[in-house]
Amino acid sequence: MTEPRDRDDIFDTSRTFAELGLAAPIARAVAELGFVHPTRIQSQLIPVALRGRDVLGQAKTGTGKTAAFGLPILHRLAQEPEAPFAALVLVPTRELAIQVTREIREWAKHTPLAAVAIYGGQPIRTQAQKLEKKPAILVGTPGRVMDMHGRGLLPYDHVRIAVLDEVDRMLDIGFRDDIRKILGALKRGPQTIFVSATISAEIEKLARSYMKDPEKIVTAAASLTVNQVTQSYLPVEPWDKRRLLLHLLKKETPPLAVVFCRTKRTVDTVAKYLSDKGIEAHAIHGDMFQNRRNKVMDELRAGNLSVLVASDLASRGLDVEDISHVINYDLPEDPEVYVHRIGRTARAGRSGVAWSFVCPDQGELLTAIEMLANVEIPRLEYQDFQPGPVPDDVRAQRELDDKRREQRAVQQNRFATTVPVVEAAAADPSRYPGGIVPIAPPEKRLGGRTKTRRR
Ligand code: ADP
Ligand code: MG
């Protein structure tokens, strides 16, 4: 059970939505969805955004950032509902574009405002038809947005509000140029609202270069992860990971687990391994056809899946109510990604569990994650699992490494004998006729040091 104190961490129970001053049709839709109190980020960000001010908002995962930018957009556009292409929301993944569009439509249902998702993988023609209707709100991934703009189907000149959801992802190296092109082409100098659960100082600086004197709102107190998620790590050797995963899924039977792997290939092999062992697991990653991706997401939302094996495609923004467990099969290389991954559970005040597999050489990475998130991730003692023997190829490799290390030690020793040569000379001058005593090994030998093995 979640303590009420923890819910107060997320919700501003001193206020109701009615007090935020949203236009009546929007307030009504929100009430129908059962939103009573705004979350803290909503309570602070919405009034500022309603005044037309630029806002940079940071709040933990699952605390309602979508509504924090979505409701002010609707409120502002509701005053002029026939204005086409008036709001542009940029998000990092197609799945998120679909989700955010769906949410905005819910909140807009008592207004004439329309929202359309623009993302890759769907036929251009389908989306062109949607754009012909001149919707007020566009939610898209940068590539397809630029494409549609280039085709003259998506004009930028009416954009009055521009949003970057997951702003740190949108401004990191992969999307940075696209965002620069899109935001740089917005002529009217729109109101900007940028949000994420993680915003580094570097990203904040870059973000500010696109904003006019933004108000910064941070509700993430102390740690970056919500208290409602119970985090722990399990030490494991790389070769035992699959068996440990299977073991955990069988023993703990999580109702709905998302298993994150580092590469698309691992996603496929892990999903297949689980299926072969009788666990119904589905995969999602960026190399799958969009149709298939959408189908998996629909099944996930319908509650028909129990294990989803995913790449970091699914690490950001996705809001699926019943994800009970997040399992980091591979630790993410970027500590910020950890915060987003485990944020797929314990949303809107619910509780959840996050387990991370940590290999013996990943201690530093785990510490980096703990430092960024500002939490201590305790070790989960899982007595019940029997680690397997060291596989032959690993043992062979280790023996080879040991041998190399020995050889290196021998070679280094040879140098060692040449260094005290001066003392040797002093002890036995007859060895160095003419009194010429080398004080260093010859050049060539220095250059010919044992090779370091670079990986
Ligand atoms: P974030 O973007 O901060 O990770 P989301 O915007 O996806 O979080 O919201 C998480 C969930 O919380 C969604 O299912 C949303 O419908 C729900 N939610 C948002 N605001 C409220 C609220 N004020 N009261 C109840 N539920 C809310
Ligand atoms: Mg979000």
The one-digit pLDDT tens for each residue of the chain (455 residues) are 444 556 778 999 999 998 999 999 999 999 999 999 999 999 999 999 999 999 999 999 999 999 999 999 999 999 887 889 999 999 999 999 999 999 999 999 999 999 999 999 999 999 999 999 999 999 999 999 999 999 999 999 999 999 999 999 999 999 999 999 999 999 888 999 999 999 999 999 999 999 999 999 999 778 899 999 999 999 999 999 999 999 999 999 999 999 999 999 999 999 999 999 999 999 999 999 999 999 999 999 999 999 999 999 999 999 999 999 999 999 999 999 999 999 999 999 999 999 999 999 999 999 999 999 999 999 998 888 999 999 999 999 999 999 999 988 887 776 555 545 555 556 665 665 555 655 655 554 444 444 555 54
Residues 24 and 127 in one domain: yes
pLDDT the model gives residue 448 = 42
Task: Flag whether 245 is in a domain.
Answer: yes
Identify the residues whose C-beta falls under 6 Å from ligand 1.
35, 38-39, 42, 59, 61-67, 319, 347-348
Residues 247 and 115 in one domain: no
pLDDT the model gives residue 157 = 94
Residues 238 and 306 in one domain: yes
Task: Flag whether 348 is in a domain.
Answer: yes
Task: Flag whether 397 is in a domain.
Answer: no
| Domain final residue pick, 161, 190, 218 | 218
Measured CA to CA, the distance from residue 340 to residue 61 in angstroms comes to 7
Burial class from Cβ neighbours inside 10 Å (0-12, 13-18, 19+) for residue 209 reads: exposed
Q: How far is CA 315 from its chain centroid?
A: 5
Burial class from Cβ neighbours inside 10 Å (0-12, 13-18, 19+) for residue 121 reads: middle
Task: Flag whether 451 is in a domain.
Answer: no
Task: For residue 379, list its beta bridge partners.
Answer: 233
Question: Hey, which of 22, 35, 139 would you mutate to test ligand 1's pocket, going by the most ligand atoms within 8 Å of its Cβ?
Answer: 35
Residues 349 and 435 in one domain: no
Task: Flag whether 404 is in a domain.
Answer: no
Task: Flag whether 382 is in a domain.
Answer: no
pTM across the whole model: 0.87
Which residue lies with its CA nearest to atom 15 of ligand 1? 64
Which residue lies with its CA nearest to atom 20 of ligand 1? 64
Residues 157 and 29 in one domain: yes
> Nearest to residue 225, comparing CAs of 322, 83, 352?
352
Residues 151 and 24 in one domain: yes
Measured CA to CA, the distance from residue 379 to residue 364 in angstroms comes to 15
Residues 236 and 272 in one domain: yes
Q: Which ligand is nearest to the CA of 58?
A: 1
Q: Would you state the torsion angle of the CA atoms of residues 224, 100, 293, 291, taken in this order, to the nearest 10 degrees?
A: -170
Residues 235 and 261 in one domain: yes
Given the CA of residue 165, which atom of ligand 1 is nearest to it?
2
Measured CA to CA, the distance from residue 17 to residue 68 in angstroms comes to 11
Neighbours of 228 (CB within 10 A): 21
61 CA distance to ligand 2 middle (Å): 7
Q: Are 185 and 155 within 8 A, CB to CB? A: no
> Nearest to residue 450, comparing CAs of 401, 399, 415, 418?
415
Which residue lies with its CA nearest to atom 25 of ligand 1? 35
> Nearest to residue 92, comparing CAs of 195, 204, 185?
195
> Nearest to residue 191, comparing CAs of 295, 33, 75?
75
Residues 205 and 135 in one domain: yes
pLDDT the model gives residue 82 = 81
Question: Hey, which of 347, 350, 351 would you mutate to test ligand 1's pocket, going by the most ligand atoms within 8 Å of its Cβ?
Answer: 347
**What 8-state DSSP symbol labels residue 434?**
G
391 CA distance to ligand 1 middle (Å): 46
By DSSP bridging, strand 307-310 and strand 229-235 are unpaired
Given the CA of residue 319, which atom of ligand 1 is nearest to it?
7
Which residue lies with its CA nearest to atom 24 of ligand 1? 35
pLDDT the model gives residue 447 = 44
Q: What is the DSSP string of 210-261?
A: TSSSPEEEE---S-SS-TTEEEEEEE--GGGHHHHHHHHHHHH--SSEEEE-
Measured CA to CA, the distance from residue 228 to residue 344 in angstroms comes to 12
Task: Flag whether 25 is in a domain.
Answer: yes
Q: How far is CA 66 from its chain centroid?
A: 16
How many domains is the chain partitioned into structurally? Answer: 3
Q: Which ligand is nearest to the CA of 92?
A: 2
Q: 3-state class of 55 per DSSP? A: strand
Q: In what order do the strands lie in the sheet with 137-140?
A: 115-118, 137-140, 87-90, 161-165, 191-196, 55-58, 215-218
| Domain final residue pick, 192, 218, 244 | 218
Measured CA to CA, the distance from residue 452 to residue 455 in angstroms comes to 10
* CATH number, domain with residue 112: 3.40.50.300
Which residue lies with its CA nearest to atom 16 of ligand 1? 64
pLDDT the model gives residue 3 = 47
Q: 3-state class of 120 per DSSP? A: coil
Q: Are 18 and 27 within 8 A, CB to CB? A: yes
Q: Are 145 and 112 within 8 A, CB to CB? A: no
Angle at 313 between CA 373 and CA 45, to 5 degrees: 55
Q: Are 21 and 76 within 8 A, CB to CB? A: no
Domain enclosing residue 433, as ranges = 415-444
Q: What residue type is 157 in one-letter code?
A: D
Residues 242 and 115 in one domain: no
Residues 43 and 66 in one domain: yes
6 CA distance to ligand 1 middle (Å): 16
pLDDT the model gives residue 64 = 97
> How many residues does this entry show for the chain?
455
Task: Flag whether 409 is in a domain.
Answer: no
Given the CA of residue 59, which atom of ligand 1 is nearest to it?
3
Residues 194 and 299 in one domain: no
| Domain final residue pick, 218, 240, 273 | 218
> Nearest to residue 96, comparing CAs of 362, 322, 286, 350?
286
> Nearest to residue 234, comparing CAs of 311, 327, 324, 308?
327
Given the CA of residue 99, which atom of ligand 1 is nearest to it?
7
Measured CA to CA, the distance from residue 233 to residue 355 in angstroms comes to 5
